[in-house]
Amino acid sequence: MTAGEPMASNGNAQTGFHFSTGETGKYSLNPDCTGSGEIDLNVPVPVGSTGVIKLMLVVTNGGRAIHTVVSEFTPPGATTPVLNTTRSDAWKIGTGPDPE
């Protein structure tokens, strides 16, 4: 996002996404609207992980809200995950057809 607006990307809207600063990722969504995702930070480091964030997610409100919890975080340069208690919630706002 730049100035609150989504940036163009070359990600696949169904299974992957790309960021403007080099991160990449993928996700999967089950028929019951639960799923998982992984963001690869791709930070150049001489040794260890380039950084990985693993997520568990739930899509609700007819596809208008997503709730995520970080299930595992390995910082750039680390060799094992570290404790993390991050969650986020996002809602689609604005006009447009409501999902059925």
Which of 14, 13, 93, 88 lies closest to 58, judged by CA?
Answer: 88
Per residue in 46-83, pLDDT (tens digit) is 888 899 999 999 999 988 899 999 999 999 999 999 99
Q: Where are the beta strands (DSSP E) in 8-64?
A: 16-18, 24-29, 34-40, 52-60
Using alpha carbons, select from 6, 69, 74, 10 the residue that is nearest to residue 36. 69
DSSP state of 98: P
User: pLDDT confidence of 93, banded at 50, 70, 90?
Assistant: confident
Domain spans, the chain: 16-82
pTM above 0.85, yes or no: no
